[in-house]
Structure 1
Amino acid sequence: MSTANLWLAIGAILVLLFLSGFFSGSETALTAASRARMHQMAKGGNKRAMLVARLIAARERLIGALLLGNNLVNILASALATTVFINLFGQSGVALATLVMTGLVLIFAEVLPKTWAISNPERFALAVSPIVRVLVAVFAPVVIGVEMIVRLMLRMVGINVNDDTSILSAHEELRGAVDLQHKEGGLVKAERDRLGGLLDLAQLEVSDVMIHRTNMVALNADDSLPTLVDAALASPYTRLPLWRGETDNFVGVLHAKDLLRALHAAGGDSEKIDIDQIITPTWFVPDTTTLQDQLNAFLRHKSHFALVVDEYGEVMGLVTLEDILEEIVGEIADEHDVELEGLRPQADGSVIVEGSVPIRDLNRATDWSMPDDEATTIAGLVIHEARMIPEERQIFTFHGFRFTVLKRDKNRITHLRIMPLGQKAKHVAATSTTQPVVAAQAQTSAQLPEHS
C-alpha cells in the first residue's frame, strides 16, 4: 500500500469513527428525549420538535436504522484498520488493529457521544433530527426486512411482539416521573402527594375513603322536630342521613340549608315543619365503585353525598365529594370541623396513632410506605398481621415498623405506638422494662380489611 493510500485509509477510518459516534449519540438522545416535552414544543410550532416526535413514534424503525448505520461504519472502519496494520506490521497487525479499534470505538464512538447526548437529550435530538430522518428513509427497506425476520424468529420461540406493546401504562409512567422528580428535588412532598392522589383515583374504591358506619352521624326521623333541629344544629356536618324504625333503614338525607329554609318559612316554629317534605332521597353506591367513577357520578348528579353498601345491601358507611377531593389535595378543614387528634409524633421518633386512622393518611403525614392494598386502617393492618385480636401492651414487628398496642376497647384497637425500625426508641425501651409485653413477629404482606 502506497503512502498516499495509507493516509487516505487513516482519514477514512477517522471519518467512519465520527459517523459511528453520530449514530450512537443520536440513538441515545432520541430514545432518552422526553416525548411529553417534544409534544409540548411541537404544539408551540417547533418544526424540529414535530420531526423528533414522529421519529420517536416509530421507535423500532428509528433504532433499526441507527443500529444498521452504526454497524456498517464500525465494520468498515475495522476492516480498513486491519488492512492498514497488516501493511505496517505484517500478520501481527490483526491483533494490533483489534486492540486499537476497540479502544477508539469505545471512547470516541460510544462513551463520549452517548455521555454528551444523555447530558441534554432534547437539545441533541433536535439538532440531529433532520439528518436522522433522511437516514431512516434511506434504510427503511432494509430495516423493514430485518424487522420481519426478527418478528418471525421471536414468534417461532413463542414470543409475540406487537407494534402497540407497552411495558408501562400511562399511569405508571406518570407515577414514575412524579416520584423521580420528587427524589431529584423538582417536586416538594405536597405536590407529589397531590399528583399521586390524582393518579390513584382509578385504583382506589369508595370503601377506602368512606366514613365507616361506626363513625357516621345519623338521626332518627321519628324523633320530635325540636330534637332533630337541635341535633342538626349541633352537628358539624351539613348533610345528615335519617333512619326510621331500624338503624339500617335509611329514608333520606337532611340538608342543613333546607332545614334553615323550612324554619324561616315556619317563622322559627320547628313544630310546623314536616321533615319528610324537606329531606332528599338517599343515594346508595356499591363499595367497589372506584373513586374516579364516583367523582364523575357526583359531578353528573350534582350531588355531594352517598351511602355506601356492600354486596348484600348493608350500609357500610358514607362517602362525600370532600372525601374524594381530600385524596388529591389533602385534608380539608373548615371552621366547623371538629379537630380529632389522630396522630401525635413523639420525641423518640415514634408516633401515637388512633386505630381508626387510614393507612393512606398515615403514609402521607409521615412519608412512610406501609402497604394498604387490603387493610384500610392501621388497626386493620395490625389485626391481619397478628392473625388475632391483640391484647394491650403486645408488640408486633412487620414491614419495617414496631407496633405497640396501647389501648383496646372490646375488640377494637383504639391506640397504637408505631416506631420505624432503626430509630432510637428510648421511650419504648423504658416501657418494655417496666411493664410486661408479649412480642410477636408477623412477616406476611397481605392485610385483612378493617374499619375501626
Structure 2
Amino acid sequence: MTFDAILTFLGNYWISIASILALVLLSGFFSGSETALTATSKSRMHTLGNNGEVRAGIVTHLIERRDRLIGALLIGNTIVNILAGSLMTSLFLDVFGDSGVAIATLVTSAIVVVFSEVLPKSWAIAGPDRFALAVAPMVRLFVLVVGPVSAAVNWLVRAILAFFGVRLSSEVSMLTAHEELRGAVDYLHKEGSVVKADRDRLGGVLDLGELEVSDIMVHRVAMRAINADDPVDINVRIILDSPYTRMPIWRGSTDNIIGVLHAKDLLRAMADVDSDASKIDIVKLSQKPWFVPDTTNLKDQLNAFLRRKGHFAIVVDEYGEVQGLVTLEDILEEIVGDISDEYDLDMQGVRQEADGSMVVDGSVPIRDLNRALEWNLPDEEATTIAGLVIHESKSIPDERQAFTFYGKRFIVMKRERNRITKLRIRPAAEDDI
C-alpha cells in the first residue's frame, strides 16, 4: 500500500478509526479502574482522607458498594468492547470484503488483549492507590449514571443463583476483620516486609480475644504461695527469696486464698519494726485477693486489669476451686514475647540437642513452642506440650514411649506419677509413620 493509498484510506475512514481508538482507550480506562479500585487499600485511603485528600473519600465511598461498582465498570467495558468490535468489523468488511470478518476478529482480539486488558491492568496493579485516586472522580460520575442498571443486573444475577440454591451476601465478608489483618501480616512477613518479631506481636494482639485465662495462667501445681499459719520468719524468708513481687496467702488449704502480699509492703513493714519479723502480721499486710473465672478471655482480662489498675488475679473454675493465677505480665507476654529481668528464673524449659532434636519440659505451653520454633502444633485441646501428647495418645504414656503426629516424633523421657515432665521432639522420619 502506497503512501497516497494510506492517506486516502485515513481520509475515507478517519471517523471510524478515531472512534475505535477512543473506544479502546475507554475500555482500558474501565479495566484499569476495576483493577485499581478492587485492589486499593482501605486503610491507606482512610489515612489519606484524614490527611485531607478529598479523592480518598470518593474512593472509600465507591468501594463500600463493590458489587455496584464492579457491575457498572463491567457494563461500560462490555459496551465499548462490543462497539469497538462492530466498528472494526464494518471497517474491514469495506476494505477486505468477506474476509474482513476474520481479519477484524484477529485484530480486535489483539488490540483488546494488549491495550484494553493487560496494559491498563498491569499499570493499575503496579500502583493501585495512586491509580484509584486519579480515576475516582470520573468513575463516580459513571457509576451515578449506570448505577441503576448495575443494580438491576446484580438483582437478576442473585435471583438466578438463588434459583440454583446459591446465596450471595454483599454485606458479610467471608473473612472477619481480624482474619483479613492476620492474613495481610503473614503475607507481608513472607515477602520480607514484616520481620518475625513484629508479626508475632501483631498476632498476639489479635489472639487476645480467642484465648482464655486458663490458656496462659500459672497452674496451681506451679503456683507459689505461703501458709498464713507458718512462722512469720519462714514466710518472710520465702517472700524475700522469691523472684516474684506478689505472693498468695492461704489458710487451711491451698484452695482457701485469703490474701495477696506485695513484697514492697513487707519491706516497708520490716523497716518500721527494725526488721523484727515477729512483730509483723502478714495477713493484715496483704491485699484482698481478686478471683476471676478461668473462661475469661484475655482481651476482657487485660481491660479489667487496666480498669482496676491491678496486676494479679487468682483463677478459679466454675466450682470456685483455685486453678492457678494470672498476672498482667502474663498477658503482655502473649503480645511482646517473654519478658525477663535479672531476677527471673530460667523457665523456658527448651533445650536443643546436638542431633537437632528438642528436649522440652512437659509444662512448656504449645503457643510458646510455636512462636519460638515456627511450629504449627494445635493448641485448641491442650495448653501444654505434655497435654497435647496425652490428648493425642488418649492415654498417659510410659517413659520411652513414642508417638508421631503433626509431623513430629514425641518421645517421653521422664514421667512423674501421672505427669509427663520431659519430652524429646524431633522431625518425624518416614519409618516413624
TM-score normalized by the length of structure 1:
0.89
Q: Which amino acid aligns with 1:414?
A: T
Q: Which residue of 2 aligns with 1:309?
A: 316
Selected match of 1:271 from 278, 288, 291: 278
Q: Which residue of 2 aligns with 1:408?
A: 415
Give the superposition deviation at 1:227: 1.5
| d(CA) in 1 for partners of 2:428, 2:91 | 65
Q: Which amino acid aligns with 2:321?
A: E
Q: Which amino acid aligns with 2:35?
A: T
Q: Which amino acid aligns with 2:176?
A: S
| Pair 127,347 (structure 1): closer, same or farther in 2 beyond 3 Å | farther
Q: Which residue of 1 aligns with 2:22?
A: 15
| Pair 248,440 (structure 1): closer, same or farther in 2 beyond 3 Å | farther
| Pair 341,360 (structure 1): closer, same or farther in 2 beyond 3 Å | closer
| d(CA) in 2 for partners of 1:319, 1:148 | 53
Give the superposition deviation at 1:157: 4.2
Assess if the C-alpha contact under 8 Å between 1:395 and 1:440 holds in 2: no
SS in 2 for 1:247: strand
| d(CA) in 2 for partners of 1:101, 1:57 | 34
Q: Which residue of 1 aligns with 2:387?
A: 380
Q: Which residue of 1 aligns with 2:325?
A: 318
Q: Deviations over 1:14-69 (max 9, x none)?
A: 22111111100110011101110111011111122222222222322221221111
Instruction: After superposing the two structures, state which structure 1 stretch, 205-214 or 11-20, moved more.
Output: 11-20
Residue 128 of structure 1 pairs with residue 132 of structure 2: no
Q: Which residue of 1 aligns with 2:69?
A: 62
Q: Deviations over 1:105-134 (max 9, x none)?
A: 122211121111111111111121122122
How many residues matched? 425
Q: Deviations over 1:167-202 (max 9, x none)?
A: 211111111111111111111111111111011000
Q: Which residue of 1 aligns with 2:340?
A: 333
Q: Which amino acid aligns with 1:187?
A: V
SS in 2 for 1:336: coil
Q: How does 1:213-232 map to 2 (within 5 A)?
A: 213-232=220-239
Q: How does 1:94-133 map to 2 (within 5 A)?
A: 94-133=101-140
Assess if the C-alpha contact under 8 Å between 2:381 and 2:391 holds in 1: no
| d(CA) in 2 for partners of 1:419, 1:409 | 22
Q: Deviations over 1:315-364 (max 9, x none)?
A: 11110000000001110111111123511123333221111100111111
Q: Deviations over 1:385-411 (max 9, x none)?
A: 122222222222111112222222222
Q: Which residue of 1 aligns with 2:5?
A: none
| d(CA) in 2 for partners of 1:29, 1:68 | 17
| d(CA) in 2 for partners of 1:187, 1:16 | 43
Q: Deviations over 1:77-127 (max 9, x none)?
A: 111122223333444433333333222212221112111111111111112
Assess if the C-alpha contact under 8 Å between 1:30 and 1:52 holds in 2: yes
Give the superposition deviation at 1:213: 0.8
Give the superposition deviation at 1:158: 4.5
Q: How does 1:254-265 map to 2 (within 5 A)?
A: 254-265=261-272
| d(CA) in 1 for partners of 2:220, 2:12 | 90
Q: Which amino acid aligns with 1:217?
A: R
Q: Which amino acid aligns with 1:68?
A: I
Q: Which residue of 1 aligns with 2:296?
A: 289
SS in 1 for 2:253: coil
Q: How does 1:6-85 map to 2 (within 5 A)?
A: 6-85=13-92
Assess if the C-alpha contact under 8 Å between 2:249 and 2:283 holds in 1: no
| d(CA) in 1 for partners of 2:411, 2:100 | 74
SS in 1 for 2:410: strand
Residue 139 of structure 1 pairs with residue 146 of structure 2: yes
Selected match of 1:346 from 353, 362, 371: 353
| d(CA) in 2 for partners of 1:80, 1:350 | 71
Contiguous gaps of at least 5 residues in structure 2: 1-7
Assess if the C-alpha contact under 8 Å between 2:25 and 2:116 holds in 1: yes
Q: How does 1:190-205 map to 2 (within 5 A)?
A: 190-205=197-212
Q: Which amino acid aligns with 2:108?
A: M
Assess if the C-alpha contact under 8 Å between 2:36 and 2:124 holds in 1: yes
| d(CA) in 2 for partners of 1:255, 1:342 | 27
Give the superposition deviation at 1:234: 1.3
Q: Which residue of 2 aligns with 1:431?
A: none
Q: Which residue of 1 aligns with 2:3?
A: none
Give the superposition deviation at 1:155: 4.2
Instruction: After superposing the two structures, state which structure 1 stretch, 157-166 or 139-148, moved more.
Output: 157-166
Q: Which residue of 2 aligns with 1:427?
A: none
Residue 93 of structure 1 pairs with residue 100 of structure 2: yes
| d(CA) in 2 for partners of 1:52, 1:349 | 53
Assess if the C-alpha contact under 8 Å between 1:386 and 1:440 holds in 2: no
Q: Which amino acid aligns with 2:322?
A: V
Contiguous gaps of at least 5 residues in structure 1: 424-438, 442-452
| d(CA) in 1 for partners of 2:54, 2:127 | 19
| d(CA) in 1 for partners of 2:80, 2:393 | 64
TM-score normalized by the length of structure 2:
0.93
Q: Which amino acid aligns with 1:402?
A: R
Assess if the C-alpha contact under 8 Å between 2:409 and 2:432 holds in 1: no
Q: Which residue of 2 aligns with 1:367?
A: 374
SS in 2 for 1:229: helix
